[in-house]
Amino acid sequence: MCLTPYDACYNVAAMKPYVLKSGPDQPAEPTFSIKYEEELNAGQLAAVQAIDGPILVIAGAGSGKTRTLVYRVARLIESGIPPASILLLTFTRKASEEMLHRVGALIGLRTERVTGGTFHSTANMLLRRYGRAIGLEPGFTILDRGDSEDVINLLRAQHGLNDKARRFPRKNTINEIFSKAVNKLLPVEDVILGEFPQFTDEIEDLQKLCRAFESYKRSRLLVDYDDLLVRLRELLDQDEGVRRRVSEAYRYVLVDEYQDTNRLQAEIVRRIAATHDNVMVVGDDSQSIYAFRGATFRNIMDFPTLFPGTRIFKLEENYRSTQPILTLANEVISLAAEKYSKTLFTRKGEGPQPVLVKAGDENTQSRFVAQRILELREEGVPLDEIAVLFRSSFHSFDLEIELSRRNIPFVKRGGFKFIETSHVKDILAHLRVVENPKDAVSWNRLLTLLEGVGPKKSRTLIDTMLSREGDWLDVLKAAAEKGAGALGLRDLVRLLEDIGGASMTPAEQMNAVCGYYVPILKQQYDDYPKRTKDLEHLYTIAARYGSLGSFLADLTLEPPDSSLLNVETADRDAERLVLSTIHSAKGLEWHTVFIIWALDGKFPSFYSLTSDEDIEEERRLFYVAVTRAKQNLYMSYPVNVYDKISGMVFSKPSRFIDEIRQDCLDTWSLIDEDDFRD
């Protein structure tokens, strides 16, 4: 046998055969540990199983929106999607943490790398990572609303706009104008003409002030809440490389409560999803009620236009309310001028008809509500399972008196947030100047706490420190040698030297600041014992952090719910009736709900009657109120209403009630016991 050179080098007979398959390998079908078909209804399942492309989930009230999002994240991970490529955007960090905790309970610890948070916390993270591309250093300070107003006030004075004889808007109004312009993507002029026409003559000065405000912040490494979104959009617009990196990093984007987003947030979602369009938004057009905060109803209605090829899923099965309540809710929203059609239904048993109560006057209405609450309490309904809802906060004043007279304990939604209390802002100012020595707002706050240091001296010191970058401590030391405020400045210098060291933890820094600040606290406030409890609370929060920057950023972006100030310890765990505006009640539910002042001019508000768009938002607000009730719903209005000019006048029920079919309601007329006996 004659061997070829090839055969000589390679023994053909000894070679091991490798068989090529006829076609490409097919990826193995994913195996799912969760029985999705058993745990979700048909609408939820369809939304959860959809993987790629743009998806809009219209989630009716009480239809299991959160459950759908939780199972959607789990399904993505079980389908082989890397957790780090999933971005979950919510309106509170608590919401995202709760969802991811529930996902973790379903499928284990694979959710740890999922990015979940608010629009603002996500913007903060991305700007600190990539912000240098637009000239924003990662050590920027975040201003809260009060800080922004202080800057505006400072600039207003510098521009000679503090003339008391002149009707110029206050600092909080100016901040509101600027914020609305940002969130609605409108010029300042348009916001003034549309919502603040009384300041039309001041447009030019307000435009100048707005430009000065923006310049001031940028030169001092300061950003406010609105800036976080503005600068993120700027980053994603101007740097294609960053936009692509962010979009490719987050291949699957989920957005909760999409009906509450503003135009800026919608544009950010569009840019993050630029390379893939794998974005699912969940919301309810019928619960779009935050136009006053800049949210726009158009975002959810125009989503299919913004993302061509959008698949729409509807969640219509309600797990909260009885069918009579849902029938009334369907009636209310069916007359909306623009909507995604849906019909809420439930498998729960029938319940009592919603009740419309005609009261003779306001006090009679209050007496009815109080009496019926006591009856429900006797029937076994806990007080904290009962809520009284109203369009505006002042609508409950008479009722509050009646409840107090009958010893019915209640809590009213509202009050100062923890981060907005003056003593907490004082403490944080000392920490913020350590993190960012260019933070003039915080410098002014902590300097003016010192005896002998007024606004003028504070401004001089701050200007000198900022002009001598890097030598700010030397400026303070020189000022502490002599003159007014020298003693206080020396104490401040010692504190800042102590807490400025890199070795101290945020908790240790907090402890040092509190030790310095408590004597000042005792001088400033008669109720300092209560306020010291807030400082203890702040220390507890700081102890969870290893970085001062992270502590300050998180505290500003996701502040604790409330201050301990004005909270009586003895009542903290007590069962209390809930009084709430409807805006504050969104997302909550109670066994029994009372809606008071359900009459035209009160609900819908008198101020909405001239605008079709505003009337539609009032209709959605009424729908939100109705759908908070699980078992009982009472709507009441006083027939006789006092008017300052005309005296007592006859009222008529809300147009939203007038539009409801009569067979959807029981109507009660109140009669005094003495009159009934006669």
> Which pLDDT value is given to residue 567?
43
pLDDT in tens, 499-511: 987 688 998 999 9
Average pLDDT across the chain, whole number: 86
Spatial distance between the Cα atoms of 188 and 184, rounded to a whole number of angstroms: 10
Spatial distance between the Cα atoms of 320 and 590, rounded to a whole number of angstroms: 9
pLDDT in tens, 410-430: 888 754 566 777 888 999 999
Spatial distance between the Cα atoms of 219 and 214, rounded to a whole number of angstroms: 9
> Which pLDDT value is given to residue 23?
54
Spatial distance between the Cα atoms of 192 and 519, rounded to a whole number of angstroms: 44
Rounded to two decimals, what is the model's pTM? 0.81
Sheet containing strand 279-283, edge to edge, reads 115-118, 86-90, 252-255, 279-283, 55-59, 311-315
State how beta strands 577-581 and 410-412 pair.
parallel
Closest CA to 508 of 421, 425, 431, 422: 431
Whether residue 209 has pLDDT greater than 60: yes
Taking the CA atoms of residue 622, residue 627, residue 628 and residue 630 in that order, the dihedral angle to the nearest 10 degrees is: 150
Section 70-77 average pLDDT:
92
> Which pLDDT value is given to residue 495?
92
Instruction: Classify residue 286 by its DSSP letter.
Output: G
65-74, 436-445, 450-459, 535-544: range with lowest mean pLDDT: 535-544
Position with higher pLDDT, 238 vs 545: 238
Whether residue 635 has pLDDT greater than 80: yes
pLDDT in tens, 522-578: 887 766 777 787 787 788 778 878 889 888 887 777 655 445 444 443 344 468 899
> Which pLDDT value is given to residue 564?
47
Spatial distance between the Cα atoms of 376 and 372, rounded to a whole number of angstroms: 6
Section 91-99 average pLDDT:
85
| C-alpha distance across the termini of the chain, in Å | 131
14-18, 55-59, 228-232, 599-603: range with lowest mean pLDDT: 14-18
State how beta strands 590-595 and 410-412 pair.
unpaired
Section 446-455 average pLDDT:
89
Whether residue 448 has pLDDT greater than 80: yes
Section 139-145 average pLDDT:
89
Confidence of residue 331 (pLDDT cuts 50, 70, 90): very high
Section 247-255 average pLDDT:
95
Closest CA to 46 of 311, 421, 426, 321: 311
Spatial distance between the Cα atoms of 410 and 389, rounded to a whole number of angstroms: 13
Instruction: Give yes or no for a contact between 505 and 541, defined as CB atoms under 8 angstroms apart.
Output: no
Whether residue 324 has pLDDT greater than 80: yes
Section 630-647 average pLDDT:
78
> Which pLDDT value is given to residue 645?
47
